[in-house]
Amino acid sequence: IMDIGSELCKVVATFIFQKIILDDGGFNYVTSHPKRLHTVLVILNNVINQMVVAPSGRLLKSVTKCLIRLADNPKACEEMREGVSENLRDSTFAQVLAEDVSYRRLVYQLIIKLS
């Protein structure tokens, strides 16, 4: 039960963060300061890396949507090219990619933005 609660908290927190950065004011706040932006990217990478053991499709989608939005900022995009978790690019989440076409589209969209 603790794992379900913990996952739910992460999903909700990531969803709230996603809503914040979809708003231009929230996006500008997060991306306007290099340390703040770096901290956010580290946290999102940590969430991705924690899912290696127990992937959550819903959480992966939400984190990926956040990364896609952050990639709209040139500095964030540059930092993500170097530092986005390799787990998004390799076969770590192949099962989720195989089962969820919408997630697969999001990952491709992120890869295109970062290339």
pLDDT in tens, 24-58: 999 999 999 999 999 999 999 999 999 998 888 89
Distances (CA, A) of 21 to 30, 31, 80, 87, 96: 7, 9, 16, 23, 25
Tokens standing for residue 34: 């290099």
Tokens standing for residue 6: 């913990």
- Write the pLDDT tens digit of every residue in 48-100: 999 998 888 899 999 999 999 999 999 999 999 988 888 888 889 999 889 99
